[in-house]
A and B are shown apart, each in its own frame.
Chain A
Amino acid sequence: MRLRLSFLWAAVASVVGLVILLGFLLRIPQIDSLGQMLISLAVLLAAAALLLGLLNLLSAHWNKVSLQERGWPYSAILILALLVTFGLGVLFGPDYEVMLLLFNHVQLPVEASLMALLAVSLTVAGFRLLARKRDALSLIFLVVAVVVLLGATPWVIAGDSPRSVPFDYARNWLTQVWAAGGSRGILLGVALGAIATGLRVLVGSDRPFGD
């Protein structure tokens, strides 16, 4: 029975995938509108899944708090914050003053700080790369990164300073010739990989929805 059900799920996934693919490729209005309807249904389901995701997150952290596992105070703070913001959002809506305050003064600064942290992390990782992989490729990677950075930094390229010309030229040459060519090659590989992955799901070889 379980085996038959797994075939049924695979068949449903294949047919739905095929309808959307054909609608995209053949541009037949009937198939296209059916595909759009199926995509709308998927978006609706994804929204409902978000709620399930939150419940799952709550459950994972609740278990941590109740079993007093390592790091449980963080979980307790998370549960408290989640319940407060969720309750406020449901009761007063997303435009409520306190909700906006929480968003603008808590979430936004935290996410912006993480973005800023990225710049520091990358600089440190650049030095670590040299210590970890002492090969020609790593050296080329870092030299190119420094040259492009110098060419893009305002204090070097600003004004008509003659110092800026070689950096500007080197940056353009590296990004428009080497980087653009290389990235197109990589993009080709990525696109083919994505097609192969999609096709395997379509023919039921890969079943991300389980057996």
Chain B
Amino acid sequence: MNNKNDLPESNRRDFLRNASLATMMAMMGGVELRADDAAKSAPAPDAGLTKIPPAPPINVGVIGLGGWGREILTQFGKINTDPTRAKKDSAPVVAVCDIYHAAVRKAIKDTPNAQPYEDYTKLLADPKVQAVIIATPTGTHKEITLAALAAGKHVYCEVPLATTIDDAKEIAKAARGLVKLIFQPGLQQRSHPQIEFLLPFIRSGALGKYVMVRGQWHVNDSWYQAAPTPEREAALNWRLHNATSTGLLGEEGIHQIDTVSHFLRGRPASVTGFSSTIRNYTDNRDVPDTVQAVFEFPHGVNFFHDLTLCSSFQDKHEVYLGDEAAMMMRDFKAWLFKEAGAHEGGWEVYARHDRFYKETGIALVAGASKQTTLAGTAESFNPYDHVPLYYALDAFADRAGRLTDEVSKRAEMYSDEESSSLAAYLKTVSALNSKPAANWQDGLDATVMAIIANQAAVKKQKITFEKEWFEL
């Protein structure tokens, strides 16, 4: 099947050879001991070149003010008031929109400076809005995304991008050739510092040969949302029906599917699904409340993925099993569990160790001091300040602000510059990508995998992925 690359992309020997002790220490814990030491010494020659100035502010509009839309507003509130940021109000929310009046009214209470809209086309016509977040039901993403891009707005679109592969491809086609605009799919894990930190480690083959990956998303929640009118109830509960929803695997599992595919650096050859509805519901839903999927990734590595609304046991996590070590990611923390006799690195002495029943996990964390790393329990240990959505929205605002500024400055310099020349110039501006984020291809890939996995689960069958589903 269609592999992006063989894996692992480099071997552990290369990784160890190429990584300095400082880098290893920085990656594996005890980092601040060295960072503190470094801070006391003179700055390195030419260190000033690495300075990246704060991104210019970008005005944001949020379309879709359901539960997730309100969470987006909350995170923008944090982004705009974070005292550690160089500039406050870097991404002011200047407009909000929902077709439901009460949702708009509620949102305006939290964002009183935002212009309220109940028609997204009017929000898109607002010249003050430079970038939009689309957090509407999955089936409406295509129409709004295409209109937003045509209106010259940067777009952050929640995932899955669409409920069908054809619609996802239309979005991807519109996003592929963009020069002056950002399109970012809502694959929020891609922007989380823990993922960025672990990526070179896990791709280096540090776990030995991959054996398998397990992932679970367990909650005890009906997914049903009450509403004052039958019409509003129907609109609000779009996730409960196969006609409008991509099910648990699509609407929730897509983030874990994307992370696994990102780490394994490949697309699966096939997916086999299972599904059942364990509980009795009176809301006429036809989306199963419990699903399992087995993805066949390259080199015989299978990803076992299960999701349920009926049990919260062990919450949400992923485990990557290798023949020398396993890595567990949970609550955006990660631990390494080594096989007996596996090579021991010097960094492990400085790292935090946590007991999980009979196993000892070595914490993998960046940016925490030794003291911080060693303090508290495994549950209370929290090396990151924010949820993944914060980092993803922050990356989007940062990239959109920088790109808008660069394009504007460039137009001032070269009033009739051709698009290809501008695109070539923008590729040289490294600050545009100073914060990691998913691109249109990542969004298409994850959407295809999620849609097909959901179909396999609903039909309880195996589906082989076609190469052309991922290509434009």
Partners in one complex: no
The chain B residues found within 8 Å of chain A, CB to CB, are: none
Residues of A at the B interface (CB closer than 8 Å) are none
